[in-house]
Structure 1
Amino acid sequence: MNTPVAAPAGGWRIYFERRALTLLALGFSAGLPIAMIFSGLSFWLVEAGIERKTITMFSWAALGYAFKFVWSPLVDALPLPVLTRTLGTRRAWLLTAQLLVAAAMVLMAFTDPSLPGQITVMAAGAVLLGFASATQDICIDAYRIEIAPDDSAMQTVMSSTYVMGYRLGMVASGMGVLFLAAKLGSAKGQYLYQAWQYSYLAMALLMAVGIATTLLMREPPHSREHQPAAAGENLRLVLTFVLAVSAFVLAFRLAGAALPDINNAPLTAFALETLRLAGALAAALATGVLAVKAGLVSAATAQRTWITPVTDFFKRYGARAALLLALIGLYRISDIVAGVISNVFYADLGFSKEDVALAVKTFGVVMMVVGGLAGGILAQRFAIMKMMMLGAVAASVTNLLFILLAQHGGNTHLLYWVVGFDNFAAGLASTVFVAFLSALTNIRFSAVQYALFSSLMTLFPKVLGGYSGAMVDAMGYEGFFGFTAALTLPVLLLIWLADKKIFSPQHANHSNL
């Protein structure tokens, strides 16, 4: 644990190696959709006259990221007609996901949320975008791990270039949508649907970068080792998955209808929403178990597809796995919860879309890229857990800076300082965290385990983030950002415990950490 990872041979030249550049382009493709769900969509809905608590609830459209571990085994198990034989397992699924991302953006572009009933269609488009984007992430994460399975230094470099590309994608979509919509004539109090429509269509075209990369890159050798089941067994596996998802949706909707509307008490509402999610997950699990017992899918197939990748992690870490899962689930909570309300916050302070596009979506993302590069370099020289601690402390401190911004209204210079520090810290923490999760992943189950880790990373924060608008209504922006900064305190304790109990020299069982 106290021995740093060796710096890669070749110094800076390794960042221009084919695999690193491929992850840069794939990161760009992965970063495009997230702004379409959060930043761009938030401004669009504000201008369309949608109330704030409804806007922040749209963050739940990205819960596909939090539940992607449920269908990630299908990415390993199921071949796609023609594509898998032609491109290979990883590239076939990746291409399909990227085409679905572009299709979801087009659907949203042709939906005007200001019209009666269209907010539901917009929500459906956002959910499809979240699902397709999460599937793209599953494929990219598995590709990154499989393309350099025994090279920890290369994994750190690829984590850095992936985060860099991801943030550049966020710049292109976040800044691009806001600038285009503004230049085409839409503004708060002067809403113009066509401006947003053309902006979203332009972003759909940018997915061509990821599609071209997928067609040109090499299939990882490890992915060719996957032996898909027979067609009939695959069909039964898909049917089992569909039944489980249907049970989840039905249970979630029934529980939602039964729960009282208590958005004015956000923490109570969050607790009830957590129980609602847990109940829906239990219904999905019970449906899957019943399907196996009824013989719809064989127990061996279900075991190989969903159970073995999970039990492998617990076998490797034993009782200490719970500590790791808690750390993974809470590490980015401060940033994610605060990020849901950020664009509404900037709008409430009186900043224009152009101000936000320049300060947050351009300068901020440049600082995030710089932070990502710094995280990649430092992670090669210092123990990952020490860098995890640094990233968590930085995230907490930078959240406190937003209190200062809230107290000084529309101060543009202060906006740049706060956004710069916040994004540098986020870039550093993201790169280190990606390297940490990659090191925990067994290459035999790369798609499933990394999907489980990254899903857990976003599940709790995104559910809580959906109530960020109601929390701001209840405690104001200063109280809210103080609360998000305090959320990091248990994270610091978890990092210290993991370092002491798992990765110290007498306990360490993973060389990359």
Structure 2
Amino acid sequence: MTSNSEQAGMTDAGKRDWRAALKIYGQPRVIGMAFLGFSSGLPFLLVFSTLSAWLAQEGVSKTTIGFFSWIGMMYSIKFFWAPVVDRLPLPILGRLLGRRRAWMLLAQCGLMTGLVFMALTDPTTDLARIAWFGLLVAFSSATQDVAIDAWRIEAVADSVQGAMAATYQAGYRIALLTAGAGAFFIAAGTSWPTTYLVMAALVGVGMVTVLCVAEPDASRTAGTRVQEPWVDEHLARYDFSPAWLHGAYGWVLAAVVCPLVDFFSRYGKQALLILLFVSLFRVTDITLGVMANPFYLDMHYTLAEIASVSKIFGVLMTLGGAALGGVLIVRYGILRPLLASAILAAATNLAFAWLATRQDPGMASLAITVSADNLSGGMAGSAFIAYLSSLTNTAYTATQYALFSSLMTLPGKFLGGFSGWMVDHYGYVWFFGYTAVAGVPAILLVIWLIRFHARMTTAEDEAEPDGQRHASS
């Protein structure tokens, strides 16, 4: 287990052989991670903002569209079934492909099925059917994310995890571009049902990748068992009958309880504030995102214009922001860029309020707004993912990361469900102002985190006889 200061992301990346680092990107599993990232990112917008645009064009009310965003809450509760994906092998596929790849392929089958049936459903006559198949897509996508995260962690050594994360993000962003701008262009030239059929076919990219990459070594190591002696001691106190109940109880303790016990034992009572920060950091951008496409359409931008600026240009700006965030993390550590991005994420939402006040906004105004929003969003993404990764214990990475990634979207998804109601009753200017104010708690919690980790680092440095210090964050 790493020290708390290392877990806080305080790593020394100042001296590194850049040529050797670049060669890492030629490794087969690192390349494969990009395609798995594409498979992970493809479904997200199809049950979020792209679906909102489809429903808006079909005349569905903004209040209903807002409620549809609750489909995305599947991503926020995936922690509940993550331990099953993490440890339970599938009966037939598991023997053929291995535990991780079997779960990925099963989830991708669910994705393809859900997207096909969404395409075959008319939202003007059967919204409930669209909602149910949207839930299937979201559930399958969240399950795939858990399996991919586990595969990424186990497939390579720790020294290659940075490259794996980088190629994953690249593939994920390309998928967002495909499911965003690509979907808009296809819909503009054909129809939304055809668009969703095309997206269903693109799920095949992930399926082929799963069949091509190798299954990693089993994640259940002896080192993990050493950290769970209390499980055996606890089980020894009770006489279960039948025997399978004893095994099931032990499995639940090890798979579900141990990751939580580990996290709270490392951070103590401060763990609750850390989890509160994780849950609030993305409230401001998730809440805004629900109404972004309906807003563009209400401002009389065409689908092609939205695709060009908001999707293609926006993704490029996000990649630029992510790269900037990575550079700032190397230079200043994680927490200070995290604070800067929290402030920018809230402040840039006011650019949307400014755009909403313009009588003839034009493409330049849209480009300015999208640039500010996506640049800050990309920077925030790099800092936040780095911080979440620093919180995990390598013995429970998949389950703990599922907990963090679930929490980071849950409040935003819930509040986003009321976004259409707020626009209908108060208008876009007040709505965007509200989303900016919603980012203030995260800013205050980052300030607390900076002070908290500074105290942790000081305590560890005083305890080290050789005075060795980790790089400051």
Q: TM-score range by the shorter chain?
A: 0.7 to 0.9
- In structure 2, relative to structure 1, the CA distance for the partners of 1:226 and 1:362 (3 Å cut) is farther
Deviations 1:420-479 (A, max 9, x none): 221121112112211211121112212211000000001111000100111222332111
- In structure 2, relative to structure 1, the CA distance for the partners of 1:323 and 1:148 (3 Å cut) is farther
- SS in structure 2 at match of 1:81: coil
CA distance in 1, matches of 2:76, 2:222: 25
Identity percentage of aligned residues = 40
CA distance in 2, matches of 1:144, 1:43: 33
Aligned to 1:235: none
Deviations 1:234-271 (A, max 9, x none): xxxxxxxxxxxxxxxxxxxxxxxxxxxxxxxxxxxxxx
- SS in structure 2 at match of 1:223: coil
CA distance in 2, matches of 1:146, 1:382: 29
CA distance in 1, matches of 2:324, 2:208: 29
CA distance in 2, matches of 1:226, 1:477: 55
CA distance in 2, matches of 1:14, 1:3: 24
Aligned to 1:10: 18
CA distance in 2, matches of 1:508, 1:119: 56
Aligned to 1:89: 99
Deviation at 1:302, TM superposition (A): 2.0
- SS in structure 1 at match of 2:348: helix
- SS in structure 2 at match of 1:502: helix
CA distance in 2, matches of 1:202, 1:511: 49
CA distance in 2, matches of 1:20, 1:308: 30
| 1:202-351 paired onto structure 2 within 5 Å | 202-223=198-219, 225=221, 298-351=248-301
Q: Which amino acid aligns with 2:402?
A: A
1:24 is aligned to 2:30: no
CA distance in 2, matches of 1:356, 1:123: 25
Deviations 1:169-199 (A, max 9, x none): 0111111221111112xxxxxxxxxx21111
- SS in structure 2 at match of 1:175: helix
Aligned to 1:169: 175
Aligned to 1:181: 187
Q: Which amino acid aligns with 1:473?
A: D
Deviation at 1:411, TM superposition (A): 1.7
Aligned to 1:431: 382
CA distance in 2, matches of 1:508, 1:206: 49
**2:310 maps to which of 360, 369, 372:** 360
Aligned to 1:380: 330
Deviations 1:196-244 (A, max 9, x none): 11110101111122222222223233536499xxxxxxxxxxxxxxxxx
1:135 is aligned to 2:143: yes
Question: Is residue 83–residue 92 contact of structure 1 (8 Å, CA) maintained in 2?
Answer: yes
Q: Which amino acid aligns with 2:133?
A: G
Aligned to 1:36: 46
- In structure 2, relative to structure 1, the CA distance for the partners of 1:114 and 1:508 (3 Å cut) is farther
**2:153 maps to which of 140, 145, 155:** 145
- SS in structure 2 at match of 1:451: helix
- SS in structure 1 at match of 2:251: helix
Aligned to 1:411: 362
CA distance in 1, matches of 2:184, 2:450: 42
- In structure 2, relative to structure 1, the CA distance for the partners of 1:67 and 1:226 (3 Å cut) is farther
**2:166 maps to which of 149, 156, 160:** 160
CA distance in 2, matches of 1:465, 1:508: 41
Aligned to 2:458: 506
Question: Is residue 160–residue 375 contact of structure 1 (8 Å, CA) maintained in 2?
Answer: no
Question: Is residue 63–residue 424 contact of structure 2 (8 Å, CA) maintained in 1?
Answer: no
TM-score normalised to the size of structure 2? Answer: 0.86
Deviations 1:361-416 (A, max 9, x none): 11101111222222233323331111211211221121111111111244211101
Aligned to 1:45: 55
- In structure 2, relative to structure 1, the CA distance for the partners of 1:381 and 1:25 (3 Å cut) is farther
**1:200 maps to which of 196, 201, 205:** 196
Deviation at 1:156, TM superposition (A): 3.7
**1:61 maps to which of 62, 68, 71:** 71
- In structure 2, relative to structure 1, the CA distance for the partners of 1:431 and 1:362 (3 Å cut) is same
Q: CA RMSD in A?
A: 2.5
CA distance in 2, matches of 1:298, 1:88: 22
CA distance in 1, matches of 2:292, 2:68: 14
- In structure 2, relative to structure 1, the CA distance for the partners of 1:70 and 1:3 (3 Å cut) is closer
Q: 199-208 or 64-73: which moved more?
A: 199-208
CA distance in 2, matches of 1:305, 1:178: 42
Aligned to 1:485: 436
Q: Which amino acid aligns with 2:139?
A: F
Deviations 1:77-115 (A, max 9, x none): 211123222222211111211221111111101111112
Question: Is residue 10–residue 334 contact of structure 2 (8 Å, CA) maintained in 1?
Answer: no
CA distance in 2, matches of 1:164, 1:428: 14
Q: 12-21 or 463-472: which moved more?
A: 12-21
Q: Which amino acid aligns with 1:5?
A: D
- In structure 2, relative to structure 1, the CA distance for the partners of 1:156 and 1:485 (3 Å cut) is farther
Question: Is residue 388–residue 433 contact of structure 1 (8 Å, CA) maintained in 2?
Answer: yes
Deviation at 1:75, TM superposition (A): 0.7
Deviations 1:305-348 (A, max 9, x none): 22111111111111111121011011111111111111111111
CA distance in 2, matches of 1:327, 1:507: 23
Aligned to 2:235: none
CA distance in 2, matches of 1:361, 1:437: 26
Question: Is residue 320–residue 502 contact of structure 1 (8 Å, CA) maintained in 2?
Answer: no
- In structure 2, relative to structure 1, the CA distance for the partners of 1:24 and 1:376 (3 Å cut) is farther
Aligned residues: 434
Question: Is residue 5–residue 379 contact of structure 1 (8 Å, CA) maintained in 2?
Answer: no
